[in-house]
Amino acid sequence: MVLISSPSNPRISKLKSLHTARGRKKAGFFLMEGPHLLQALLDADLFPHEVYYQPEILQRSTQGLALLKRLLQAPALSPEQLIEVNERVIEAIGEVQTSQGLVSVLPLAIFQPARIRARRSPGKRPALLILDELADPGNMGTILRTALAADVDSVLLTPHCVDHLSPKVVRAAAGAHIALPIEAELSWEEIAGRVARHAQQRVFLAEANSNELYYKQDLTQPFALIIGNEAHGPSEMARALASQLISIPIYNGVESLNAAMATGIILYEAVRQVHAR
């Protein structure tokens, strides 16, 4: 096993660069923090490039202790890939205030949409989700988690969305990256092509002022749903692609719902409609 006891170690400095989108793109890796996410990864027969772990922290919980034993016995992980660190180092690598004792380094290639689709079970997935310049990492992560739970076909991200591989998004998504096809930094021309193949121009745009209610739409057939920026709403390109504006009823003077909440409401109406048939 490799042991690192100093936060100034060159390997740790390189890991810190993965906290930025530029660093992740340059290195071809990103960080996934916490036992729960690594457990989900291993359950999917996917293995990290490296794992940095702090045994004393992990041993404080039954889940952490079981995962530590699984790691140390995993035949797919060599001793060089398992790096033991002290508490100062694990805190330097991670971003959360209270470390859970484990940070995994994952290659970006492992989450290519084509690979994820190949691992998915076959099934009817009518919803294609488009996030238009979504800015908040918490919203992005929550939406990705909800999209996976609602069995969305794919999530398409415009170029100005928050980086979906940032540590905050990854934590909020709670493992969604492992099983949900996500296509990032797509041009509107590319998005239009994906929509044409999936939904044949049935494109709903969530808009608070629309008179068309979301639950009156047929969401059992393939469709695309666009969710716009939290502060500025949908872009002109999103409006140009949309075939129908839809809204969620809102009362008592509330102007709009949180983007993640609105996404969940609409996607689960699609789930309800599919199961009702």
Distance CA 129, CA 142 (A): 13
Which of 177, 125, 117 is closest to 150 using CA atoms?
125
What is the C-alpha to C-alpha distance for residues 13 and 92, in angstroms, rounded to an integer?
9
Q: Please provide the DSSP assignment of the chain as one string.
A: -EEE--TTSHHHHHHHGGGSHHHHHHHTEEEEESHHHHHHHHHTT---SEEEE-HHHHTTSHHHHHHHHHHHH-TTS-GGGEEEE-HHHHHHH--SSS--SEEEEEEGGGG-HHHHHHHSPP----EEEEE-S---HHHHHHHHHHHHHTT-SEEEE-TTSPPTTSHHHHHHHTTHHHHS-EE-S--HHHHHHHHHHHTTT-EEEE-TT-SSBGGGS--SS-EEEEE-BTTTBS-HHHHHH-SEEEB----TT-----HHHHHHHHHHHHHHHHHH-
pLDDT tens sequence across 151-187? 999 999 999 999 999 989 999 999 999 999 999 999 9
Residue 257 CA, chain-centre distance (Å), reads 21
The token pair at 18 is 């993965």
The mean pLDDT value for 258-269 works out to: 97
Residues 102-145 have pLDDT tens digits of 999 999 998 899 999 999 999 899 999 999 999 999 999 999 99
Q: Using CA atoms, how far apart are residues 111 and 271, in angstroms rounded to an integer? A: 25
Q: What is the pLDDT of residue 256?
A: 87
Q: Which domains does the chain have, with CATH numbers?
A: 2-110 (3.30.1330.30), 113-276 (3.40.1280.10)
- How far, in Å, CA of 18 to CA of 9, rounded? 15
pLDDT band at 1 (very low <50, low <70, confident <90, very high): low
List, for residues 195-204, the tens digit of each pLDDT value.
999 998 899 9
Distance (Å, whole) CA 258 – CA 245 = 17
218: tokens are 């047929």
Report the amino acid identity of residue 262. A
| Contact present, 140 and 113 (Cβ < 8 Å) | no
Q: Are 183 and 154 in contact (CB under 8 A)?
A: yes
Give the pLDDT confidence of 78-102 residue by residue, as tens digits.
Answer: 999 999 999 999 999 988 878 889 9
